[in-house]
Structure 1
Amino acid sequence: MTSALDTGTEREPDYRFTLANERTFLAWIRTALGLVAGGIAVGQLYAAGAAPIVHKAIGAVCAVLACLIAVGAFGHWRRVQRAMRRNAPLPRPPLITVTVAGVCVAALLSVALLAL
Structure 2
Amino acid sequence: MRLAVLGLALVLAGCFPREGVPSADLEPHAAPSREVVVSMKDFTFRPDTLRIPPGTAVVFANQGRYPHTATESGGLFDSGVLAPGERFRYTFTLPREYSVYCKLHPYMVLHIMVGP
TM-score, normalised to structure 1's length?
0.27
Q: Which has the higher contact order (CA 8 A, sep 6+)?
A: 1
Q: Which has the higher strand share?
A: 2
Larger Rg: 2
